[in-house]
Amino acid sequence: MAKIILKTSAVSTPTLKLTSVAVKRESDAVTVFIQGKGLFNYQIVPVGVLRLVLDFPGGISLLSFRTLRVGHAILRQIRIGQHEKKLRLVFELAQRADHAIKTGREVLAVQFT
């Protein structure tokens, strides 16, 4: 009797496919809108007082750039890095700031005040 061997392979879908990063500047605040397809599953990684790091496990970036210069009194720039098992966004602050994160359908908003 012949053996039948069934092989299955788990197809891993990225948690997030990053499609857009937009910035809204105000005099006393700056809000970053991160848009994409998929789930906004993220982890905050502490890296000092002048950086906020968000890791998106399994995420990928569809953007054509890796750095977005903001030039605001609160937020200098955003770096976007693609790593083997995660997508990382690094917010480089110009000064200490509080932040708030809100998620919505296909968007994550990070506000610095």
- d(Cα 20, Cα 108) in Å, to the nearest integer? 11
Alpha-carbon distance of 34 to 82, in angstroms, equals 15
CA pair distance 40, 30, nearest whole angstrom: 20
Does the domain spanning 16-112 belong to CATH 1.10.287.3510? no
SS3 assignment, position 28 = coil
Q: pTM for the full model? A: 0.85
- How does pLDDT run across 57-69, given as a tens digit for each residue? 999 999 999 999 9
- Confidence label for 10 from pLDDT (cuts 50, 70 and 90): very low
pLDDT tens readout for residues 45-101: 989 999 999 999 999 999 999 999 999 999 999 999 999 899 999 999 999 999 999
**What pLDDT sits at residue 39?**
87
Domains of the chain, residue spans: 16-112
Relative to beta strand 60-61, strand 16-25 is: parallel
